[in-house]
Amino acid sequence: MAETTLISQKFLELKSKNRLAFMPFITAGDPDVDMTKDLIRTLTSAGVDLIEVGFPYSDPIADGPVIQASYTRALNGGITVDQILQAIAEVKSDDTPPLVAMVSYAIVFRHGVEEFIQDAKKAGFAGLIIPDLPGAEAAECFELVRSYGLDLVQLVAPTTPRERVQQIVQNSSGFLYCVAVAGTTGVREQVADALLDQLRWLREETDLPLAVGFGISKPEHVMPLRELADGVIIGSGIVRQLEDLVQGAVDRETTLKKIGQLANAMVSSTART
C-alpha cells in the first residue's frame, strides 16, 4: 500500500468534510521574496487547503499573459531557485497547508534532478508539478519523487488523448491536475463542457483526486465542479492583484487584504452542499 502523503491526507480530510480543496497559485519572488512569504501567511490565515508556488521561468509552458508578466517581474528582480527554497523554509510552519512547486523540468534538470527533489523536500514542499516533464523521464522521476515522500502531480487537458492520459495517471500521485481549457492560463467567464465530460471519464479511470485549474477565477466557477472535481486551482485571479502593487496604485497591506478576501470567498464556495 502506498505511503500516505501530506497531499493525500489533505484530500481525505476534505472528503470527510464534504468539501473541495481550494489551491491558490502564487509566483515566487513577485515582486520580491518578502511578499511571497507574506502571501503564504495571508493565504494560510484565509484557510486555503494547498498552495501552488510557481518557480519563475523565462519560457513558461502554458501560462497566460498575467502569469508570464509575473514571472518576468520576479526574474527581473533577480530571483533564484536557492532564494525560493530558502524563503519556503523560512515561512513554512505546522499551520502552513501543503505546498506544491510548479517548476519547469529545465530548472529541475539544471539544478540536478535528485538534488532538486531533496532540496524541495528539505525546504518544506509536499509535491512537485513539472508541466514539461518528458514522457520518457516520467516513470523514473515519479519513483524518485515518491522515494522522498513527495507527490508528483501531472497535468491532463481536454485535448490529451485518452491513451496518453492512462499513461500519465500511472506516474502521478497526490492529485491529477485537470486543465480546464485547451490553451494557456487566464481568467475566463465559464467552465467548458469538454472539461466536465473529461472529469466524468477520469472518475472511471483513476482514484486520484481531480483538481481543476486554468481559467478558474471566481466562486461561480466552482458550482458546476462540485460533483465532479475534488479541488479547484486559481492562478491569474490572484497574481493579477500584484500588478497594481508593482505599478504603485495600491500598497502591500491593501494587496494582501484583497487577496485574503478573494481566498476567503473561494474557500467558502468549496462546500459541496
Q: Which residues are catalytic?
A: 52, 63
CA angle, corner 270, sides to 268 and 271, nearest 5? 85
Number of Cα atoms under 13 Å in the Cβ half of residue 175: 31
The grid coordinates listed for 101 are 512547486
Distances (CA, A) of 146 to 11, 118, 150, 249, 256: 17, 11, 5, 44, 34
Host H or E run for residue 155: strand 155-156
Distances (CA, A) of 105 to 113, 133, 177, 270: 9, 6, 17, 31
CB 256 within 8 A of CB 42: yes
* Dihedral sign, Cα of residue 216, residue 217, residue 219, residue 221: negative
The grid coordinates listed for 196 are 466536465
Residues 6+ apart with CB under 8 A from 4: 12
CA nearest neighbour of 104 among 124, 84, 77? 84
